[in-house]
Amino acid sequence: MKRWEKTGKKTVVVMDSIVNLVVLFILLLLLLFGGYALWDSGQIYKSAGADVYSMYKPTAENTLSFEDLQAANSDVFGWLTVYGTQIDYPLVQGGTNSKYLNTNVLGKYAISGSLFLDYSNSPDFSDFNSFIYGHHMEKNVMFAEIEYFADAAYFFGHRYGNLYYDGKDHGVEFFAFLAVDAYDMSVYDVAVPETRSQQYLDNLLEKAKNVREIDITTSDKIVLLSTCTSESTNGRHILVGRIDENLYQNEFEETIKKTDGGFKKGTLADSGFMALLKHSPMWLWILLIVLLLILALVVYDKVQKRRARYKQKRKMALSDECEKKS
């Protein structure tokens, strides 16, 4: 009977050790997966930030870098800037609207995609209404900040932008913000003909959540910046602006300081520790995981030895007690 009890106890101890090792291994795998996910997420948003493309931005003094970008990808044709935001990106136009959903302006795969003009619009913005699409992403990258225009104070405080195409800058004055459905064809009617332009404009203003009173007519050209929303699957936010030859001063140029990766100051993501984690290279993550694994094994070994010593002492104590009783 005692033999079977000893065998049973040994089996329980072995199984307990195995379970502990399995749990430890699972926890380390979860840590590794979480670390990689955090690193990968940081890389996605970092690669989608406007700062990545700032070297290509055309200026009055120099357009050579922009021409280099066009040489790398012939679909690049312009540049969009919305003053007071981090929307400051090159523009592309593909043969279909799906081409640049997950392709960056260099023609490489990227979840963030690109800001792209509707394939049926003219790249010289000669249509009455032209659509530019972009993803709504976290960390204020791509078209994420368009949702802020839903707030009236923000909308009226951010009036102007700039649109570069055909080798020169053009001013943009934003006059409407809409929250609509992606299948609302009365809004997503691209390049409407002159005969329906007034009807189209009246419909936009009627559906707009925020409107700025400006003297706009059907002889003007308008651009609609469209992105999805986090509120509903088919929800879309649209910021509408008028394109004109007048260039507007960027009053935010001296006050806005962009932070790496689009983090807002004062948030956890902007803290030094979180920023370090999100932007650390992959080899650092591997080294960290290995060190944690070694530490976990050392701790586990010490715990097992301590348990073994405790069991040995308990066994000796029981043996002494039995001898005293006998």
Q: List pLDDT tens digits, range 173-198.
A: 999 999 999 999 999 999 999 999 99
Total-model pTM = 0.69
Task: Tell me which of 35-44, 145-154, 295-304 is least confident.
Answer: 35-44
Q: Does residue 271 have a pLDDT over 60? A: no
> Could you give phi then psi for residue 258, rounded to 5 degrees?
-75, 140
CA distance 275 to 25: 28
Q: Where does the pLDDT of residue 258 fall: very low under 50, low under 70, confident under 90, or very high at 90 and above?
A: very low
Question: Which comes out higher in pLDDT, residue 265 or 38?
Answer: 38
Q: Considering the chain, what percentage of its residues have pLDDT values greater than 70?
A: 70
The predicted pLDDT at position 249 comes to 94
> Could you give phi then psi for residue 208, rounded to 5 degrees?
-65, 140
First vs last Cα of the chain: how many Å apart? Answer: 20
The predicted pLDDT at position 206 comes to 97
Q: Could you report the per-residue pLDDT of 162-174, keeping only the tens digit for each?
A: 999 999 999 999 9
Cβ(209)–Cβ(178) under 8 Å? yes
Output the 3-class SS for 226-278: EEECCCCCCEEEEEEEEEECCCCCCCCCCCCCCCHHHCCCCCHHHCHHHHHHH
Q: Could you report the per-residue pLDDT of 53-71, keeping only the tens digit for each?
A: 888 898 877 777 999 999 9
Question: Which comes out higher in pLDDT, residue 231 or 287?
Answer: 231
Q: What is the mean pLDDT of residues 290-314?
A: 73
Question: Which comes out higher in pLDDT, residue 191 or 295?
Answer: 191
Average pLDDT, rounded, for the chain: 81
The predicted pLDDT at position 282 comes to 59
Q: Does residue 41 have a pLDDT over 60? A: no
The predicted pLDDT at position 305 comes to 73
Question: Which comes out higher in pLDDT, residue 47 or 305?
Answer: 305
Q: Does residue 287 have a pLDDT over 70? A: yes
The predicted pLDDT at position 309 comes to 74
User: What one-letter code names the amino acid at 271?
Assistant: S
What H or E segment, with its residue span, contains residue 282?
A: helix 282-325
Q: Could you report the per-residue pLDDT of 111-153, keeping only the tens digit for each?
A: 999 999 999 999 999 999 999 999 999 888 999 999 999 999 9
CA distance 102 to 148: 24
The predicted pLDDT at position 155 comes to 98
Q: Does residue 266 have a pLDDT over 50? A: no
Q: What is the mean pLDDT of residues 240-264?
A: 73
Q: What is the mean pLDDT of residues 101-111?
A: 94
